[in-house]
Amino acid sequence: MAETNFIKMAATSVLWVLILLFMVAPNCYGRRTRISKKELEIHEHLKKFNKPPLKSIKSPDGDIIDCVHISNQPAFDHPLLQNHKIQLRPNNHPEGLLRKNEAVITNSISQLWQLKGNCPEGTIPVRRTKRSDVIRASSIKNYGKKKKKKHKVSAKFSAPNTLITLTGHQHAIAYVEGDEYYGAKATMNVWGPDIQQPNEFSLSQLWILAGSFASDLNSIEAGWQVSPDLYGDNNTRLFTYWTSDAYESTGCYNLLCSGFVQINNEIALGATIFPISSYHGSQYDIDILVWKDPDESNWWMQFGDDHVIGYWPGFLFSYLTESASMIEWGGEVVNSESDGEHTTTQMGSGHFPQEGFGKASYFRNIQIVDSNNNFRLPTDLSIFTEQPKCYDAHLGNSGPWGTYFYYGGPGRNPNCP
């Protein structure tokens, strides 16, 4: 196996040398064609993103999932992780977990690439970055990062100070603030919302927040998203994001920069979720849990009941080295406001919350983690949305679903021009 991998790596290196020689060799007129600076930058970025795999899996959706040795993952490009000892499991797990009602939701959910194989122990699955992925970005340097947004205060709504209405971004969320939070959990159903333009996206996630959005926001985010600009298609994908400076220069999606340490060999960040919910049909949902290990101060992520994905080392953050000051759950879309009309990009299922189960999107069994590492129900849960006639949210509470809310909408409609 080692000899085969060495041969593959050597062949790849030789191929790149030949490509570079070809691009600087004299053409038929005796002039030299030099490789462009952009092409060299793309090549260097692809080398950084795509670590040598021990095995590769071709997913039915066209993705290539590389099984990369756990010690060779992108996290360890970070200068403070050069000699990091991987924590293979959390020291503590939150207690008192409220189980989801299996009588209501019985459909299993997975990732599409898993139909074609699996990654061996000691590796992690990494979605391979393609040249076309990098080219789609606004700039090579910003690939995998959120675009910095300008603030625009809403006159209609009293928003939390970290959710000032952002130019082009709209939300339908539930949130808590004013306490110390050490994690959050929820179950959310998964949809495939329509996206009007490639530079728009639609996502559903939870946010772990501390600091000020204007300058030094610390944020950990996890959920599902449809983002043609990032992935090159309209598939619904599992994703994470983090930043320690309000999206200015730190952090990224998934594993597209150093930071997040993955330990799981079964779940690929950025990979397609399969299957997804259908209107008035089968419903599929996922559990997301993010919590702080009180011993190591790392923030861990769990997908489903038993897939502990990995952790964000505590030193990546400033405020989140202690605790979060706000938790949010819900949906977000980009509205490019082309020609003055509201986008038709859907949030969630694309239907309003009042349509209910089987038709609207939901978050249920919403919980926070307290300073004793115990789950508890959130108190004083509030709703925020910029334009409820475009996207809305409605709170509820019931036995098996605990604290929940429906959310979403179609975007442009007769009441949302």
Q: What is the DSSP string of 253-268?
A: BTTSSS--EE--SS--
CB 268 within 8 A of CB 113: yes
Indicate whether 10 and 103 sit together in one domain: no
pLDDT in tens, 108-166: 789 999 999 999 999 999 999 999 999 998 888 889 998 765 443 333 334 454 454 45
355 is an active site residue? no
29 within a domain of the structure (yes/no): no
Active-site residue, from 200, 221, 328, 386 = 221
Out of 34-38, 75-79, 174-178, 265-269, which region has the weakest mean confidence (pLDDT)?
34-38
221 is an active site residue? yes
Indicate whether 337 and 283 sit together in one domain: yes
Indicate whether 321 and 395 sit together in one domain: yes
Task: Specify the residue for token string 């990546």.
Answer: 316
Indicate whether 264 and 306 sit together in one domain: yes
Indicate whether 3 and 78 sit together in one domain: no
pLDDT in tens, 239-250: 999 999 999 999
Residue 61's Cβ-count burial label (10 Å; 0-12, 13-18, 19+) is middle
413 within a domain of the structure (yes/no): no
Beta strands in 190-294 (DSSP E): 202-210, 218-226, 237-243, 261-262, 273-274, 285-292
Indicate whether 162 and 100 sit together in one domain: yes
* Four-CA torsion 373, 178, 219, 371, nearest 10 degrees: -10
pLDDT bracket for residue 223 (50, 70, 90): very high
The per-residue pLDDT of the chain, averaged, comes to: 87
Sign of CA dihedral 80, 86, 89, 92: negative
Indicate whether 118 and 243 sit together in one domain: yes
Residues whose CB falls within 8 Å of the CB of residue 6, separated by 6 or more in sequence, listed in order? none
What is the reported pLDDT for 328?
Answer: 98
39 within a domain of the structure (yes/no): yes
pLDDT bracket for residue 167 (50, 70, 90): low
Domain extent, residue 160, equals 50-408
415 within a domain of the structure (yes/no): no
Indicate whether 54 and 10 sit together in one domain: no
pLDDT bracket for residue 34 (50, 70, 90): low
Indicate whether 12 and 101 sit together in one domain: no
What is the reported pLDDT for 12?
Answer: 52
CA nearest neighbour of 127 among 198, 230, 9: 230
414 within a domain of the structure (yes/no): no
Total domains, the chain: 2
Indicate whether 192 and 302 sit together in one domain: yes
Indicate whether 211 and 268 sit together in one domain: yes
Out of 142-146, 321-325, 331-335, which region has the weakest mean confidence (pLDDT)?
142-146
pLDDT bracket for residue 89 (50, 70, 90): very high
179 within a domain of the structure (yes/no): yes
Edge-to-edge strand ranges of the sheet holding 55-58: 55-58, 64-69, 123-127
Token readout for 193 is 């919302």
323 within a domain of the structure (yes/no): yes
Indicate whether 14 and 146 sit together in one domain: no
Token readout for 125 is 């699955």
Active-site residue, from 3, 44, 121, 332 = 332
Rounded Cα–Cα distance for residues 228 and 149 (Å): 19
pLDDT bracket for residue 107 (50, 70, 90): low
319 within a domain of the structure (yes/no): yes
